[in-house]
């Protein structure tokens, strides 16, 4: 570990923190329907859209209608994306003559982008036409992120409102998230990324003759416009197979830094939107503090593990950390930091290959996802995921002192706790259930590229990533098969909608309740005690659920590696 590495990490945290308040203030205005500096341009477009769509912007929805709108919208989005992928050979903007995407891969990829997972069974430059990248993936990158933000905003309204049946309009929230938040930032961000060397062209792949006279075909494309939203919307699906490790998808140390900022910025700012909308910014800071503690701890462990290299490298006398799977321009610190950020958020972009991380360095990304990606988390998804844990934490605190639990003046009762537990439990069911299945059926066992405990980790990582809607991978796993494409897609669907729908049910139930005034017996939820309790609940629930699986994978691998043991396939 170097001083410079820590300075990079500290600088990153400082920049994200500095952006929380201004962006939080702006987004609050957007979702409470106030005028913003972009209104003169965007308001007429927005009104026109609503007129054609038959939407009355003032008409609010109950939680059921809100959820229904979201499901219908996502379902149609899935159909459109699936159709584009299947028909890409016959559609324009296909200079590399990519053929139609196979049915199981198209199903997996469409599910993956609609659920904001962006798992890459596809190979980017070897599979998709430019039209599929733009109209298919870039479009879903925007609207799946906007759906996540909308659900978080609906849940915030559930806490902020009293004695009402409605949570706002899904259509308005989703449209405004896209037009007022995501699109303007992406336009600026795209140009900044191109200035760093990221291609943005519709021209065909380039044939170069290298200095030694060999032919090199260089894949290019409309990369920057997709990467901007891929990061900002915590989507993470790469334009290229190697994702943000590819020099075209992440050309410089500065582009890397800005991409890391953009992964966290909306998720972090949403805690401030939460604080503002419930009328007490401290509530938002408390949640951000809990997230921040878990984040910094994860970064410290991963950076330490990667800087210390692996048994294999150190036995050969090599120093300088574990550079296998990492890019020279980022080095150890920026690669470790990126890995923790991308899995704490539900981004899943990678600037280094997690499969080649040290056992403990790879454990943290895995654990981040297993905890439900509540450390900043996906745009929207991170906040509502953490608020589910808040409900459980408040419930536990209530049990300890024998009072009806309250949060922000709302009584937390059986219905909320049941729904919260449903949202929490569907993740381990998908992650561990499918992992268990894949380790006993031949189609599952055919997947891993590495032998021994690392092969198990590859399977566990895949289902964890899918159910958590992350999308990063231990990339050695051969996942583009009927078995993996299908089971992973099911994991993604359950992980997305069996969390989102209970969240909206909680929101509806909370909005209908009265807000009680705070009394002397109210547990304050903006202080250190609450932050500690929340962190504890997240770690205990995650630890109890997932420790056995981690022990079978990264933990046993760590000790085997330290003892100098290696594993070979086919032996």
Partner 1 sequence: MLTQIRPALVLLVALAAVTGIAYPLAMTGLAGAIFPAKAAGSLIERDGHVVGSALIGQNFTGANYFHGRPSATTATDPADATKTVPAPYNAANSSGSNLGPTSAALAERVKGDLDALKAENPGQPVPVDLVTTSGSGLDPDISPDAALFQVPRIAKARALAEDKLRDLVAAQVQGRTLGVLGEPRVNVLALNLALDDMGKR
Q: Which of residues 8-67 bind partner 1 (CB under 8 A)?
A: 8, 11, 49, 52-55, 65
In the block, residue with structure tokens 């054609």? 52
| Residue 552 buriedness (CB in 10 A; 0-12 / 13-18 / 19+) | middle
Question: Does 271 engage in binding with partner 1 (CB under 8 A)?
Answer: no
Residue 77 interacts with partner 1 (CB under 8 A)? Answer: yes
Nearer to partner 1, 55 or 270 (CB): 55
> Which residue in 102, 334, 367, 387 binds partner 1 (CB under 8 A)?
334
**CB 422 within 8 Å of CB 391:** no
Indicate whether 212 belongs to the interface with partner 1 (CB under 8 A). Answer: yes
14, 17, 89, 218: which one binds partner 1 (CB under 8 A): 218
Neighbours of 482 (CB within 10 A): 14
Asked if residue 197 binds partner 1 (CB under 8 A), the reply is yes
* 461 scored as a contact of partner 1 (CB under 8 A): no
Residues 6+ apart with CB under 8 A from 54: none
CB of 534 to partner 1, least distance (A): 32
Residue 250 CA to residue 198 CA, distance in Å, equals: 7
Cβ–Cβ < 8 Å for 406, 516: yes
Tokens in use for 28?
């609050």
502 and 381 Cβ atoms separated by less than 8 Å: no
Query: Which of residues 79 and 399 has its CB atom nearest to partner 1 in the complex?
Result: 79
Task: By CB under 8 A, name the one of 95, 123, 409, 532 that touches partner 1.
Answer: 123
Distances (CA, A) of 235 to 120, 191, 243, 347: 11, 19, 12, 5
194 binds partner 1 (CB under 8 A): yes
Distance of closest approach, residue 197 Cβ to partner 1, in angstroms: 5
Q: Which residue has the tokens 């201004």?
A: 22
Length of the chain, please? Answer: 571
Task: Kindly tell me which residue out of 296, 451, 482, 539 binds partner 1, with binding defined by CB under 8 A.
Answer: 451
Interface residue with partner 1 among 41, 76, 529, 551 (CB under 8 A) is: 76
Restricting to residues 379-408, name those near partner 1 by CB under 8 A. none
Segment lying near partner 1 (by CB under 8 A), choices 100-108, 234-242, 268-276, 510-518? 234-242
Shortest distance (Å) from residue 474 CB to partner 1: 7
Considering only the stretches 16-24, 200-208, 263-271, 282-290, report the one whose residues sit in contact with partner 1 under the rule CB under 8 A: 200-208
Question: Residue 334 Cβ, how far from partner 1 at the closest point, in Å?
Answer: 6
Which secondary structure element, helix H or strand E, spans residue 410, and what is its range?
strand 410-411
Q: For residue 328, count other CB atoms closer than 10 A to its CB.
A: 6
Residue in 90, 210, 401, 519 binding partner 1, rule: CB under 8 A:
210
Q: Closest Cα to residue 498, out of 135, 67, 26, 19?
A: 67
- Backbone angle region of 271, left / alpha / beta, with phi > 0 → left and psi within -120 to 50 → alpha: alpha
CB of 452 to partner 1, least distance (A): 6
* CA gap 68, 61 in Å, rounded: 10
Among 205, 441, 528, 548, binds partner 1 (CB under 8 A): 205
Could you say whether residue 4 binds partner 1 (CB under 8 A)?
Answer: yes
293 in the Ramachandran plot: left (φ > 0), alpha (ψ -120 to 50) or beta? alpha
Q: How far is the CB of 271 from partner 1 (least distance, A)?
A: 26
User: Which one of 1, 301, 312, 490 is in contact with partner 1 (CB under 8 A)?
Assistant: 312
Among 88, 111, 450, 469, binds partner 1 (CB under 8 A): 450
**d(C-alpha 559, C-alpha 427), whole Å:** 28
Residues in contact with 51: Cβ distance below 8 Å, sequence separation at least 6, in sequence order: none
> CB of 87: closest distance to partner 1 in angstroms?
15
Q: Which of 134, 379, 499, 503 lies at the binding interface for partner 1 (CB under 8 A)?
A: 134
Report, in Å, the least distance between residue 97 CB and partner 1: 12
Of the candidate residues 104, 280, 324, 413, the single one contacting partner 1 (CB under 8 A): 324
Hey, which residues between 518 and 537 contact partner 1 (CB under 8 A)?
none
Question: Coil, strand or helix: which one is 121?
Answer: coil
Distance CA 196, CA 175 (A): 30
What residues between 345 and 384 interact with partner 1 by CB under 8 A? 350-353, 355-359, 362
Q: Cα(476)–Cα(122) distance, rounded to whole angstroms?
A: 14
Q: Which stretch binds partner 1 (CB under 8 A): 252-260, 379-387, 416-424, 526-534?
A: 252-260
Under the binding rule (CB under 8 A), the answer on residue 214 touching partner 1 is yes
CA distance 86 to 90: 9
Rg, C-alpha atoms of the chain: 23
Q: Where would I find the H helices in 251-380?
A: 253-277, 281-307, 311-315, 331-344, 359-370
Q: Which residue stretch of 267-275, 329-337, 401-409, 510-518 sits at the interface with partner 1 (rule: CB under 8 A)?
A: 329-337
| In the complex, least distance from residue 71 CB atom to partner 1, rounded to whole angstroms | 8
Give the whole-angstrom CA distance, residue 154 versus residue 256.
Answer: 32
The residue among 376, 377, 344 whose CA lies nearest residue 496 is: 377
Q: In sequence order, what DSSP letters do the residues of 237-248 get, joined into one string?
A: --SSTTGGGSTT
Q: Is 245 in the site for partner 1 (CB under 8 A)?
A: yes
Q: Which is nearer to partner 1, 253 or 422 (CB)?
A: 253
According to CB under 8 A, which one of 157, 176, 230, 246 is a site residue for partner 1?
246
The single residue among 30, 105, 181, 242 that binds partner 1, judged by CB under 8 A, is: 242
Nearer to partner 1, 201 or 404 (CB): 201
For position 253 contacting partner 1 by CB under 8 A, the verdict is: yes
What mask, x for binding partner 1 by CB under 8 A, covers residues 472 to 491? --xxx---------------
In the bound state with partner 1, the residue whose beta carbon lies nearer, of 226 and 262, is 226
Q: Is 173 in the site for partner 1 (CB under 8 A)?
A: no
Q: What are phi and psi of 243, to 5 degrees?
A: 55, -140
Binding-residue total with partner 1 (CB under 8 A): 134
């Amino acid at each position: 570990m170097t001083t410079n590495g820590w300075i990079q990490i500290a600088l990153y945290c400082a920049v994200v923190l500095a952006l929380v308040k201004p962006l939080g203030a702006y987004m609050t205005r957007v979702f409470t329907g106030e005028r913003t500096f972009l209104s003169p341009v965007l308001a007429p477009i927005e009104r026109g859209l609503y007129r054609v769509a038959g939407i009355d912007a003032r008409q609010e929805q109950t939680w059921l209608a809100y959820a229904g709108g979201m499901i219908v919208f996502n379902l149609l989005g899935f159909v459109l994306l699936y159709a584009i992928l299947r028909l890409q050979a016959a559609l324009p903007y296909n200079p590399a003559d990519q053929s139609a995407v196979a049915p199981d891969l198209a199903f997996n990829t469409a599910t993956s982008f609609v659920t904001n997972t962006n798992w890459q069974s596809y190979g980017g430059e070897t599979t998709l036409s430019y039209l599929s990248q733009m109209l298919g993936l870039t479009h879903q990158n925007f609207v799946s992120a906007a759906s996540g933000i909308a659900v978080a905003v609906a849940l915030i309204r559930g806490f902020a409102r009293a004695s009402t049946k409605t949570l706002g309009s899904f259509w308005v929230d989703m449209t405004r998230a896209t037009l007022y938040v995501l699109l303007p930032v992406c336009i600026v961000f795209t140009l900044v990324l191109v200035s760093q060397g990221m291609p943005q062209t519709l021209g065909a792949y380039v044939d170069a003759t290298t200095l030694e006279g060999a032919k090199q075909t260089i894949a290019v494309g409309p990369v920057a416009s997709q990467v901007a939203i891929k990061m900002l919307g915590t989507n993470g699906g790469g334009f290229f197979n190697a994702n943000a490790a590819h020099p075209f998808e992440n050309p410089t140390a500065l582009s890397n830094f800005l991409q890391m900022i953009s992964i966290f910025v909306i998720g972090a700012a949403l805690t401030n939107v939460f604080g503002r909308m419930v009328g007490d910014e401290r509530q938002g800071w408390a949640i951000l503090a809990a997230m921040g503690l878990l984040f910094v701890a994860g970064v410290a462990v991963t950076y330490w593990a990667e800087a210390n290299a692996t048994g294999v490298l150190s036995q050969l006398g090599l120093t300088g950390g574990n550079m296998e799977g990492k890019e020279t321009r980022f080095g150890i610190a920026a690669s470790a930091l990126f890995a923790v950020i991308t899995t704490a958020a539900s981004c899943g972009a990678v600037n280094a290959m997690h499969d080649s991380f040290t056992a403990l360095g790879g454990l943290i990304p895995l654990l981040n996802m297993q905890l439900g990606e509540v450390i900043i988390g996906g745009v929207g998804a991170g906040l509502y995921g953490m608020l589910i844990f808040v409900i459980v934490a408040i419930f536990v605190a209530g049990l300890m002192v024998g009072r009806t639990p309250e949060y922000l003046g709302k009584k937390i009762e059986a219905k909320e706790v049941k729904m919260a537990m449903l949202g929490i439990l569907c993740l381990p069911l998908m992650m561990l259930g499918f992992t268990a299945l894949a380790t006993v059926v031949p189609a599952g066992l055919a997947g891993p590229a590495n032998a021994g405990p690392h092969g198990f980790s590859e399977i566990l990582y895949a289902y964890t990533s899918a159910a958590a809607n992350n999308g990063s991978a231990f990339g050695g796993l051969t996942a583009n098969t009927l078995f993996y494409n299908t089971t992973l897609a099911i994991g993604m669907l359950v992980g997305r909608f069996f969390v989102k729908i209970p969240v909206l049910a909680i929101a509806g139930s909370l909005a209908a309740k009265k807000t009680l005034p705070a009394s002397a017996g109210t547990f304050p939820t903006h202080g250190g005690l609450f932050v500690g309790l929340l962190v504890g609940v997240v770690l205990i629930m995650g630890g109890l659920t997932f420790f056995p699986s981690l022990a079978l994978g990264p933990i046993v691998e760590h000790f085997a590696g330290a003892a100098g043991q290696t594993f070979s396939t086919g032996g």
